[in-house]
Every structure is written in C-alpha cells, then in structure tokens.
C-alpha cells in the first residue's frame, strides 16, 4: 500500500483516485470544489484543505487538472504543491498541458529535492473502469521504475517514452487523432443518412467495420444520443488541438486534418455546444449538411 495524494478530482481524476483506493492505497485528495469529492470521502479518502497539505501528507502525489494555467496554479500558489514538497517525494502529473510548462514545473520539483514525471493517459472513464487505460510516462528511468508499480494499478499498459515532456507530446499526438476520427466518422454517417440509410443503421455498420477504432466504438453512439455529462468536452479537446498545432509549428510538421477539425470545434463553441462532448462536432456537420442533428 502506497501513501498517495491526488490533486484534481474531476470526472477522470476522481474515478482514478477511487480505483487507487480500491487497489489498497491510502489517498489524500484535494479538489477546488470540495463538495465534488464527498463521494470519495465516504469511501475512505482523506480530504485536504490545499495542494500543499496533500504534498505534506503523501509520498507520491498525482495531479490531474484541466490546462497549463491550472497546473501552474496548483504547483506554484502559496498553498500549492511546491510549498509542501520535501526531498524524496514524487509528483505524477497526469494533466495534458504544454510540454514546456511541464518541464519547467519538473525542474522546480527537483529544486525541492523531489522528482516529477508527466504521465498522461489515453482512454476515457469507461476505459478506466474496464481496466484498459494506457499510461505514457516522461521522466528519468530511475523515477519511472519507482512509480511503475503504482501506475500498473491504473492501467495495464504503462510505457516510458523518454525524458520529461515527451509523454505529453505522445498524448497530444494521440488526442489530435480522436477529434479527426470523430469528424471523419460524422462525414460517413451523414453521407449514408442523406442517401436514405437510417442514422442508426449507418452507426451500427460503421461500428462493426474496418474503421471501428476504440474511439469509434465508444463515441459512435453519441451521434444518436449525447451523454448527459461530457466525457471530454469541446474546450478540453480544443485545448489539445491547439497544443498540437503549436508543436507542429515549432517542429515544422504540417497538421492539416488537425487544423480543419479544430475549426469544427470553434464552430461548436459558437453554436453554444461547448459543454458537450467533443463528439458534438457531428451536430456542426449535420447542420452544415441540412440534416437535423
């Protein structure tokens, strides 16, 4: 049993903290809106008053927040993680943020005598619950070896991809394809539907065809009925697409399908769909096609 901390107990972070407790680990958690962690407290999690308190209580601290600004805030604030760091502690940052920001934060953790790895995941809440989550890790080999037994409890596939920041590059490279696939899937559904095939039939056929990636299997049904709560909303996906395009410019890698798909996310925001799962780009394309979403 490890003595763990968890900062950021949203939909994914909360379920991951729950899983870690189920695996026998002790978890001290913090969430900006404390009431959202009540269900975890009832299951045995200790709720801390600040990220600093989490760092003081735990040996290994997970972080999962929404963007680079939030990541810097929970680390650098007067009551942030860095204020509670002492030599030997390890931060596992699962947030999808700028690789440059992550490297900068890792350097600050090392100044405190600890270490940090970036460890974003590929998958959804459903993937996590099914035990199929994939974890990418960037950091030193020595620290990776220390945290791998804990990460093995999160998902069956844990891969050390290189130095700090490179796991985030891998995550961004993965996520850009999710939105691109969703747009291509939407094109196929709408082409079939306007030809006279029912939407339900088109979705079923495509979900059992050669293009049926895990993303299509999980999100394909969303074009029939969106989930009550977004798995990964428009803003979150667009943040990752913009990170991808920023990297593309830095590395001289053209990302044409990423750029086009990003415009559909912008259109979704303009249509008031920002809180919906990014699969709502189907609605954008449907409206452009003269089809009722």
What is the SS3 assignment for 121?
strand
Concerning whether 171 is annotated as a catalytic residue, the answer is: yes
Nearest Cα neighbor of 102 from 159, 6, 169, 176 is 169
- Tokens representing 267 are 């259109």
- Asked if residue 70 lies in contact with residue 47, where contact means CB atoms within 8 angstroms, the answer is no
- Asked if residue 285 lies in contact with residue 264, where contact means CB atoms within 8 angstroms, the answer is yes
Query: 220-228: long-range contacts at Cβ-Cβ below 8 A with a sequence spacing of 24 or more?
Result: 220/185, 222/277, 222/279, 222/280, 222/282, 223/185, 223/186, 223/189, 223/199, 223/279, 223/282, 224/199, 224/200, 226/276, 226/277, 226/279, 226/280, 227/277
- Tokens representing 151 are 């990460």
Strand 157-162 and strand 134-138: the pairing is parallel
- Residues in Cβ contact with 109 at an 8 Å cutoff, skipping those fewer than 6 apart: 75, 82, 85, 91, 115, 116
Selecting among 52, 89, 112, 171, the annotated active-site residue is: 171
- Tokens representing 57 are 């209580």
Q: What is the spatial distance between Cα 65 and Cα 12, in angstroms, rounded to a whole number?
A: 10
For the chain, how are helix, strand and coil distributed in percent, rounded to 5?
55, 15, 30
Q: Which residues are catalytic?
A: 171
């Amino acid at each position: 049993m490890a003595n763990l901390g968890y900062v950021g107990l949203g939909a994914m972070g909360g379920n991951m903290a729950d899983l870690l407790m189920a695996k026998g680990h002790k978890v001290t958690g913090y969430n900006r809106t404390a009431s959202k962690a009540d269900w975890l407290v009832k299951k045995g999690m200790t709720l801390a008053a600040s990220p600093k308190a989490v760092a003081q209580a735990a040996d290994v601290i997970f972080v999962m927040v929404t963007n680079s600004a939030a990541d810097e805030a929970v680390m650098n604030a007067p009551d942030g993680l860095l204020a509670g760091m002492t030599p030997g502690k390890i931060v596992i940052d699962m947030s999808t943020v700028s690789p440059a920001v992550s490297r900068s934060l890792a350097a600050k953790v090392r100044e405190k005598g600890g270490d940090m790895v970036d460890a974003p995941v590929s998958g959804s809440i459903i993937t996590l619950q099914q035990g199929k989550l994939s974890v990418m890790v960037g950091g030193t080999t020595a620290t990776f070896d220390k945290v791998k037994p804990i990460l093995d409890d999160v998902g069956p596939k844990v891969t050390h991809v290189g130095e700090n920041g490179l796991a985030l590059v891998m995550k961004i490279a993965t996520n850009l394809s999710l939105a691109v696939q969703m747009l291509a899937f939407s094109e196929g559904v709408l082409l079939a539907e306007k030809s006279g095939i029912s939407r339900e039939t088109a979705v079923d056929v495509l979900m059992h065809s050669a293009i049926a990636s895990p993303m299509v299997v999980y999100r394909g049904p969303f074009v029939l009925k969106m989930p009550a709560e977004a798995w990964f909303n428009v803003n979150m996906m667009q943040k990752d697409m913009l990170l991808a395009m920023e990297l593309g410019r830095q590395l001289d890698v053209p990302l044409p399908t990423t750029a086009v798909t990003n415009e559909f996310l912008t259109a979704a925001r303009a249509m008031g769909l920002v809180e919906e799962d990014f699969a709502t780009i189907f609605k954008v394309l449907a409206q452009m096609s003269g089809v009722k979403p």
